[in-house]
Amino acid sequence: MRSAARLARIIGLLSLAVALAACTAVKLGYDSLAQLGYWWLDGYVDFDDTQAAAARDDLARIHAWHRANELPRYVQLLQQFERLAPSDVSPAQACAFEPEFRARGDALRRRVEPALIAHAMTLQPQQVDHLERKFQERSREYQKEWARLPPDELVDKRLKEFVDRAEMVYGSLDGAQRALMRQLLKTSVYSPAMVAAESRRRQQDIVATLRHVAGQPVEIPEARAAIHALLDRAMVPPDAAHRAYLASMRQ
């Protein structure tokens, strides 16, 4: 698997998107999430037939749980957003929502983690090799598409992505709104170099962990501890500088 944290993230981000938008495309994306998630994961590890069937079943179960248990919570959040929307929203009001979003992420992790452990233990060495090559490919793409851009081009590219996402939810943005978004991005602490460094650390951590638990006799408690620790490091990076960077980005 590309990453235990990444599987949780792809489910969480798409579910958050469907909670924040009512458009048909996003609904269709959420309805197809189990299949999309399977294709995405299979592209990284190349499941065999037995693994593929198990992965599809687990993704379908996680998706059904999420629809029944988590989407209603996002509805409650939307109702709170709706009450704030007619007035200016302060930073303190916006940040007050973060603990609930973190709680939703924690709930998803608890649901996903047992499946991640089980699937990690079935991987073969050649599949971990395949994953490592995909990581290297993605790292090269990120360097080319993001990390090497001059500052002005980086702002332009991020602005296009932000505008596309905003317009999917809210409709067309006017010139003043686009100008405000550009100014916010120009003053952002976003650092492609920091992102690339942490991505490489996670990739190496994932590969090393999977080599430890995959395709060899490892007791379930040992595998559980290894995957749990991997997820912990994904959520809270061991590097103090990157933790400070993430805190700045959240703020």
Q: Where are the domains of the chain?
A: 4-250
Task: For the chain, state the CA radius of gyration.
Answer: 19
Between CA 186 and CA 188 the distance in angstroms is 6
Note the pTM of the prediction, 2 decimals: 0.84
What does the pLDDT look like over 72-90, one tens digit per residue? Answer: 998 898 899 889 888 888 9
Cβ atoms of 110 and 9 within 8 Å: the answer is no
Cβ atoms of 112 and 62 within 8 Å: the answer is yes
For the chain, the average pLDDT equals: 88
Mean pLDDT value across residues 101-106: 92
Task: State yes or no: pLDDT of 137 exceeds 50.
Answer: yes
Mean pLDDT value across residues 206-225: 92
Mean pLDDT value across residues 171-180: 94
Mean pLDDT value across residues 127-138: 96
Mean pLDDT value across residues 170-183: 93
DSSP labels, 155-189 = HHHHHHHHHHHHHHHH----HHHHHHHHHHHHT--
Sign of CA dihedral 80, 109, 137, 40: negative
- Look at residue 78 in the predicted model and tell me its pLDDT: 86
Cβ atoms of 132 and 123 within 8 Å: the answer is no
Residue by residue, what is the 3-state secondary structure of 1-17?
Answer: CCCHHHHHHHHHHHHHH
Between CA 77 and CA 199 the distance in angstroms is 30
